[in-house]
A = this chain, B = another copy of it.
Amino acid sequence: MTPSSTRWPVAVLGATGAVGQAFIRLLEGHPWFDLVEVAASERSAGKSYQEAAKWLEGVLPASVAGLTVKLCTPEQVTAPIVFSALDSGVAGDVEAAFARAGRLVLSNAKNYRMADDVPLVIPEVNGDHLALLAHQRQVRGWTGAIVTNANCATTVIAAALAPLHQAFGVTKVFATTMQAVSGAGYPGVASLDILGNVIPYIGDEEPKIETELVKLLGTFDGTRIKHADIITSAHANRVPVEHGHTVCLSVAFERKPTPEQALDVLRNWTGHAAVKGLPSAPEPALIIRDENDRPQPRRDVDRGNGMATTIGRVRADHLFDLRLVAMSHNVVRGAAGGSILNAELLAASGQLAGIGAP
Interface residues of A (CB under 8 A from B): 18, 56-59, 172, 174, 176, 178, 181-182, 186-201, 210, 231-233, 235, 237, 239-242, 246, 248, 250, 292-299, 303, 312-313, 317-320, 323, 325
Contact = CB atoms under 8 A, between A and B. Distances in A.
A242 B242 CA distance: 12
20 contacts: A18-B192, A59-B303, A172-B319, A176-B176, A178-B198, A181-B195, A189-B192, A191-B195, A191-B240, A195-B242, A196-B297, A197-B298, A199-B296, A200-B248, A200-B294, A231-B319, A232-B318, A235-B248, A237-B246, A239-B239
A240 to B, nearest CB: 5
Nearest to A56: B192
Q: Which one of A189, A231, A233, A298 has the highest number of Cβ atoms from chain B below 10 Å of its Cβ?
A: A298
Contacts of A297: 196-198
Given A195-B191, A296-B200, A319-B172, A248 B237 contact: yes
A233 B319 contact: yes
B233 A293 contact: no
Nearest to A171: B319
A313 B187 contact: no
Q: Which one of A188, A194, A196, A201 has the highest number of Cβ atoms from chain B below 10 Å of its Cβ?
A: A196
A233 B320 contact: yes
Across the A-B interface, give the 7 residue pairs with the lowest CB-CB distance, nearest first: A187-B190, A176-B176, A235-B248, A197-B298, A201-B293, A200-B325, A181-B191
A195 B195 CA distance: 7
Contacts of A201: 292-293, 313
Nearest to A235: B248
B196 A195 contact: yes
B319 A174 contact: yes
A243 to B, nearest CB: 9
B199 A192 contact: no
Nearest to A181: B191
Contacts of A178: 178, 198, 237, 239
A239 B293 CA distance: 13
A317 B195 CA distance: 29
A216 B237 CA distance: 27
A293 B248 contact: no
Nearest to A302: B58
Contacts of A248: 176, 200, 235, 237
Contacts of A191: 181, 188-191, 193-195, 240
A299 B56 CA distance: 8
Contacts of A319: 172, 174, 231-233
Nearest to A175: B176
A293 B155 CA distance: 23
A51 to B, nearest CB: 12
Q: Which one of A186, A194, A200, A231 has the highest number of Cβ atoms from chain B below 10 Å of its Cβ?
A: A200
